[in-house]
Structure 1
């Protein structure tokens, strides 16, 4: 048993179009133009590359009269091929992005070239070129329309156009996935400190805490050494000299140091700034 599939009217119309994907008909590609004709939204005489023979083919399919080409969309002409002046090309890639059938090869900031056998003569690479280095050169002599194009070339051009569309859609999806992944990673990083800060503060001392603890330890050690020295001097009958008649400037320095020790919680007695007074009755 053989399965058969009937084509829609739009698909049958598309099969009769030259597949140059030139957009001269007013639509972004041959398929949308075919759909517009099938829906009665566009006339069947808007395709300059198909020319008079293309109109006749569509008229026969649609059961309508053969009418002239609507020249507001362009004129029937010999098929051209894009040629890039490689000495002027700056490698901007704008022509590559505009080509509907991937007939231009090159890379950013490098020379581009057109694969003549793949070019449909659509002209779409010319307007975006910022240095006007692309020329459309006729290559079919006096032959125009379908006389300058074959069904095999049309089928190959449609296949390349469809592959390019699928590739662009895949690249867009991949770029969107990468952007979403980056956004998710940034959101996770932004949330992580909020969740971990309480535990981190409780478990891990900050650099400021470490520095303060070290400072306290150094001062405490100095005080301990001074206390031992005082005890040793007392046992030998010697004490600090000139503690009763210090100058106001020296006493101010002593008071400032004592205040700093109190802020740090390191004072050992109420008379620390006047050691000799601890011996008074």
Structure 2
């Protein structure tokens, strides 16, 4: 099944998660005025760009992936796909994705997608992931781009709403990623990746998780307080933030199994961001908020 190998190297799970986020940003900005052609081009174009970035990441990480239980079965590690074939696959996907975004969306949306791609492949994968404990923070910028691209594909501008989406999704990435690093602690340690739990310990990471969830809650609520989303969204944002925080605080119990706790925290992070993406899609508000930025 050669086609399956080329699909697996794109990390389909990550692509699907980004589809929900980009749709949330698009629907928030569209305010009920849906252009199906633009929506399809945005979702498809960004999915291809994300797929390209994931292929490139697999190419870069093939040496450390063989040391991690989770990744040692990847097709580039096992040799089911050659490095040259994977690189060509990634380039074609990227060109197709950026072409769609440039032709059918807006220059700002395309530039933001390119920025996210550069951060993920050029800064995070090639450099900071292996060298710095701050790699997770830098990588969160690329992970936060899909909803912002979806939003700017409609507005053509990077305004207050786009800035809030960037902040919300960046802050969400941190507890989400730290939870993975805790329950995959042995993998990251074996591969020599300097994530926070490996470098500073799990207890310090738990403290960071709590603070990031509090910051995430404040940013998520700002979407309503700034007039972009309604009170239905506000209620859901408040509920998921409180529940996520309670899970985080439960990690301080003496009898807790850190890996089990981290998996629970990770699982709820998916529920939280999905709920917010869905609510901002249906509970938007018409706003006339001054722009923070009028171009890129």
Q: TM-score, normalised by structure 1?
A: 0.26
Greater fraction helix: 2
Which entry has the higher C-alpha Rg, 1 or 2? 1
Query: Which is bigger in relative contact order (C-alpha 8 A, separation at least 6)?
Result: 2
Greater fraction strand: 1
